[in-house]
A and B are shown apart, each in its own frame.
Chain A
Amino acid sequence: MASKLTRSTGAGWAFALPGFGLIALFIIVPFFFAFGLSLTNQRLISPNPTEYVGFENYRDLLSLSVITLEPERDDSGAVIRDEDGEIEYPRVRTITRSDDFPQYRGMREWFRWQSGDTARVVVASDVVFMKALVNTLMFVLVVAPVQGALALVLALLINQKLRGINVYRAIYFMPVVVSIVVVSLLWRFIYDGNDGLLNNLLSAITFGGWQPVDWLGNPDTALGSIMAMSIWQAVGFHMVIWLSGLQTISPTLYEAADIEGASKWQTFRYVTWPGLRNTAVLVLIVITMQAFALFAQIDVMTNGGPLDSTQTVVFQAVERGYGKQDISGGSTISVILFLLVLTISLIQRWLTREK
């Protein structure tokens, strides 16, 4: 028997064609392009012909090594210390630039730690990318649970029959419909180090006792500030998803729980939360993917600074591909990000599978 798909007329296909075409042109083709380009040395504009380079781009991005440094010693064998009493080590540069260690060529120090007198230095061929990777993971680890939980709390608060509840729904949802670029610009003013709203507010609350902080200019606070703002911006969206999940739970289940004597918390635990299982999986995966794609906020607010403390993977991909005209490098980052998100989504699906 012919399936419905093959029996349907050309008109149906004709209607579907523009959609299919656009998806193919802007999503499917670029996806394979990225794979292909990541194996070449393609540049945006270059007099040289493009060459196939295998996995060199991946090596350039991901290579890591640990170098063990012995302290500098004087002739008697004693450890040399500087004025502050810190042990002095040979400079990493002498190793990464030395012809004796070709395996470290081109690498730079990422971070180090000390064990006894020796120091171990982690060197990476692309320190900025490593920082971007760590920042992105940090961002995901903080934003996914906090934003998910906050959105659920808001959804629970808003899922009540109260007069004017729709006003609250609208207010919480409003940041979602405003462009993230606009939101980022506004928050740049809020976070301003001299005269920002946040500093003024804190100083007013503490009666002038607050020392102004340059939220986006300080490596210790920049990423946290962007996290806070990002959570605020998209929480309304996830609130709506939770809300739709809440409304699929039959009200009689709540009544039954009520009659059986369940407290508010017990009702949540035994009725609401189990009923939200599928929604929770959805929210978690969507937030994770959105968090990995962190770009606009960085681009508008910090440009990856200060001291690379807000570099992210997508920002690096764009920066490389267009800023530095290194299309193959940008493509490689995109592919790595794709594999990362795919892996994490699969793990999440496996962890939250129906038992």
Chain B
Amino acid sequence: MADVRLKDVRKRYGAVEVIKGVDIEVEDGEFVVFVGPSGCGKSTLLRMIAGLEDISGGTLGIGGKVVNEMPPKERGVGMVFQTYAIFPHMTVRENMAFGLTIARAGKEEKARRVNEAARILQMEHLLDRRPSQLSGGQRQRVAIGRAIVREPSVFLFDEPLSNLDAALRMDMRMEIGKLHQQLKATMIYVTHDQVEAMTLADKIVVLRDGEVMQVGTPMELYHDPANLFVAGFLGAPSMNFLNVDVSDAGPDGATVSNPSLDPVRVAAVKQPVTTGSTATLGIRPQYLHPTAPEKGMLHGTVALTERLGAETIVDVAMKDGTKIIAALSEDRVLEPGTEIGLEFDTAQAHLFSERP
């Protein structure tokens, strides 16, 4: 078991810096998820922790030791790749035992540990097959099994589920969650799927362009995003952003309005705003409730409704031409063209000085 500490870690490819000074603390036994859009440097960061990429600056510590220069095998990490990377010419059993074969472990120990891993992953019946005879999900299980067998202190996953279909992804997601509970090992998991991030993580690290945007538990990030990027990245459908004018900013909040928004007082000011400036108000679609046109704080006309059964997504066109989305947790018919009002609890709104 080990913790992982990154201090001002940087990565340069020639003149381009792709990781721009990252500080992350992963406690022993924690499940940490790196999320971020494509190209933000998640894989690069993970590969630096694994030892597959050199570290251009800063320090990386695993289990209290600085491991910047240590080759992968000495770091005690296990890694699961997006493309599985299982050896095509070996059976499942040989694949899973690979690390032990390399370490010249005895036959009995190999059999014991492979069987144990196969039991955990419920794949005892697959042990004598070749990778070509397995489905995608089963292959990914083999890759996870190979990592488990060596009992590493840190597990690294690089988008392990992105090649699987939706249903399988959900199953495997739960299995990985269970695995973490059973093994109690430190796990670092890279994904751009926010559902995976929200459900699996003890702690989420949101990255953008090689920088950490925010670190926190899933609920902290969801309910208390530090900036527009995090606010917009987590949650589906994503948060509505309204351009607003700040009329009365004070220590306890600010009053904001725009042509289609009646003045409201917002307490959750994420970034300091000044009176007379413009700012961005963020409201999650789930917290918007339709009412009669003359009621509510927001006014517009229904542009489109999508009925998903348990949920209804409503596109509302505002007076100033912008659009906002409301997600109703019920099946409801709203004819396009009808005027409606929307109300929300101001405690659920967030004010940012940034503009989207």
Residues of A within 8 A of B (CB): 250, 252-253, 255-263, 266, 270-271, 274-275, 277
Contacts and interface: CB of A to CB of B under 8 A. Distances in A.
A275 B51 CA distance: 24
A258 B88 CA distance: 17
Contact of A266 (B88, B89, B102, B146): B102
Interface in B44-102: 50-52, 71-73, 77-79, 81, 83, 85-90, 98-99, 101-102
B83 A250 contact: yes
B343 to A, nearest CB: 52
Main secondary structure of the interface of A (DSSP, over half): helix
Contacts of A274: 87-90
Given A261-B73, A261-B102, A261-B103, A253 B87 contact: yes
A258 B101 CA distance: 13
A256 B102 contact: no
Interface of B: 50-52, 71-73, 77-79, 81, 83, 85-90, 98-99, 101-103, 146, 150
B146 A260 contact: yes
7 A-B pairs with the lowest CB-CB distances in the bound complex, closest first? A261-B73, A252-B85, A256-B85, A274-B89, A260-B99, A259-B72, A259-B79
B89 A256 contact: no
Contact of B52 (A250, A258, A261, A271): A258
Contact of A255 (B52, B90, B103): B52
B98 A270 contact: yes
Contacts, number: 61
Contacts of A255: 50, 52, 79, 81, 85
A50 B101 CA distance: 69
A252 B99 CA distance: 15
A214 B284 CA distance: 91
Given A253-B87, A274-B89, A260 B73 contact: yes
Contacts of A261: 72-73, 99, 102-103
Q: Which secondary structure characterizes the binding site on chain B?
A: loop
A162 to B, nearest CB: 16
A253 B85 contact: yes
15 contacts: A252-B85, A253-B85, A255-B85, A256-B146, A257-B98, A258-B71, A259-B77, A259-B79, A260-B98, A261-B99, A262-B73, A262-B102, A266-B102, A271-B87, A274-B89
B171 to A, nearest CB: 24
A260 B89 contact: no
Given A260-B150, A261-B103, A252 B81 contact: yes
Given A256-B81, A270-B87, A271-B87, 14 more contacts: A250-B83, A252-B81, A252-B85, A253-B87, A255-B50, A256-B146, A257-B102, A259-B50, A260-B99, A261-B72, A262-B73, A274-B90, A275-B89, A277-B89
A266 B104 CA distance: 11
Contacts of B72: 258-259, 261
Nearest to B79: A259
A262 B81 CA distance: 17
A81 B51 CA distance: 79
A250 B102 contact: no
Contacts of A252: 81, 83, 85
Nearest to A277: B89
Q: Which of A257, A261, A274, A277 has the most CB of B within 10 A?
A: A261
Nearest to A252: B85
Contacts of B88: 274-275
Contacts of B83: 250, 252
A258 B81 contact: no
Contact of A256 (B51, B79, B103): B79
Nearest to B74: A261
A250 B86 CA distance: 10
B52 A259 contact: yes
A180 B77 CA distance: 53
